[in-house]
Chain A
């Protein structure tokens, strides 16, 4: 089932659901359709009192969620014995980037009205913005080199090394979230725990691999990211 083209299409559509929600709310805010119809009641049960807040949080949350899901693919393949999950890793990572770009756009447009003087001040001075910005910038090379062609061009080893930048992005995203909450740190703490678990899994695996490799020098094992 994981191999089917249909599964991939369904996953793709699911990944677009937050965007559809965002688009529906945006449309409802701007066009005020007759919202008494049942369709609207389900899509947009209530208009957000603060649209900037709503869009920033929706896009920020999904950027971080997609990063966590992307990072979970490798352990899940092993733990569930489902190697075909690898097919979803690239689209999931790209969706993290997609929502990250929408998050940035919300900030640039609604929060700052493209006042680049103010934006620069924010990026330079406010550490939660600085680190969020860094997290997104680090995703750019990963998005650009996510194709099969680039894997070939870079070579598997080097490509994998480059794509470890996602660890830094995820960590930076968590710190960004921790720095921006006012006092209730439960959600950033939850994401911190998830990201820590996913990274520690990799660390443990790499140590295991190394000890196995040194004990059986002649038997090379395939590299895992």
Chain B
């Protein structure tokens, strides 16, 4: 597995904290005449915990960060409503403590982790990743976490483990909108990766963003981030990780197999049936004018995982 050249930039180098926390003004990538310069208003509603970052990551991009309140006020998190402005409103009282993440299945040492254990399992790194949604928009987010492999190595997958299934929290008391009849997808939300994808160092188990613990609408307290795949592969608010022998069912694939494949690698050459994937909108730009890169720009690191595969068929 090749490790990329260090970009050497951390979040602190890109955007000083007061700039995005107070009256956030920044320039979006857009044609000069329409450069969308913005001043964003809403302060984060939830008191977040500051996280101690042990290291910056060589995996980080040095592209300009997306303002924190764009990333935290435009979410697909159907458990808290199907519109992208709903999770920021509806998730504010989501209780994430105490929390248990159970890791089970084809492993030598199945185990339940408390949030505290998760936070201390490996040194927390900051990783600035591009995040590309299947809907055609993208953001650049300074996540905090560590490679998922650190957790998987602890439980020791057996030889039978070929895939990893991820399950999100689901509780109608806390998430009254999370009904399959209305949202149109099944709950609990489940996603999956091949074991070698899950073990890839880029696959991130994230507990925070922008220097703090994850806001509830972005998947608190612990979520998956797979930067070379469309965003919906990154299951939020994880309660269960199961190692299994065959390809697990996944939520969007069950809802519409024709539109959302199991792999869902970012690929500008393979259109979604309802729109082209060649371009993306780097939020909060007005324009869909940013060229989408193969594997979201992580081809050097991950293309090897798919050598010999027809990516048009395995979309």
Contacts and interface: CB of A to CB of B under 8 A. Distances in A.
B116 to A, nearest CB: 32
A183 B255 contact: yes
A126 B74 contact: no
Interface in A164-188: 179-180, 182-186
Contacts of A52: 281, 286-288
A193 interface: no
Nearest to A29: B36
Interface string B275-287: 1100001011111
B188 to A, nearest CB: 15
A118 B287 contact: no
A217 to B, nearest CB: 52
B274 A128 contact: yes
Contact of B25 (A32, A48, A111): A32
Nearest to A51: B286
6 contacts: A29-B36, A30-B34, A30-B36, A46-B73, A49-B283, A183-B78
B283 A112 contact: no
Interface SS majority for chain B: loop
Contacts of B40: 46-47
Contact of A180 (B37, B38, B274): B274
Interface string A40-59: 00000111111111000000
Contacts of A201: none
Interface string B59-91: 000000000011001100010001010000000
A32 B184 contact: no
Contact of B284 (A51, A118, A182, A183): A51
A186 B182 contact: yes
Given A46-B73, A50-B281, A51-B284, 7 more contacts: A49-B73, A50-B137, A121-B276, A182-B184, A183-B78, A183-B185, A186-B182
B84 A51 contact: no
Interface residues of B, number: 35
Closest 5 CB pairs of A and B: A183-B184, A49-B74, A184-B82, A49-B70, A32-B39
A60 to B, nearest CB: 14
B42 interface: yes
A207 interface: no
Contacts of B37: 30, 32
Contact of B82 (A48, A121, A183): A183
Contacts of A35: 39, 41
A50 B182 contact: no
A113 interface: yes
A50 B74 CA distance: 8
Contacts of A32: 25, 37-39
B274 A126 contact: yes
A11 to B, nearest CB: 29
Interface of A: 29-30, 32, 35, 45-53, 110-113, 118, 121-122, 126, 128, 179-180, 182-186
Contact of B287 (A110, A122, A180): A110
B252 to A, nearest CB: 8
B24 to A, nearest CB: 10
Given A35-B41, A183-B256, A50 B284 contact: yes
Contact of A112 (B34, B273, B288): B288
A184 B183 contact: yes
Centre residue among A35, A113, A183, A186 by max chain B CB count within 10 A: A183
A179 B275 CA distance: 12
B184 A47 contact: no
A82 B175 CA distance: 46
A35 B39 CA distance: 8
Contacts of A113: 287-289
Contacts of A112: 288
A46 B74 contact: no
B286 A47 contact: no
Nearest to A32: B39
B147 to A, nearest CB: 29
A179 B40 CA distance: 33
A41 B197 CA distance: 46
A213 B74 CA distance: 58
A182 B274 CA distance: 10
A215 to B, nearest CB: 47
Interface string B254-273: 01100000000000000001
Contacts of B283: 49-50
Contacts of A122: 275-276
B215 to A, nearest CB: 14
Contacts of A179: 274
A37 to B, nearest CB: 12
Nearest to A110: B286
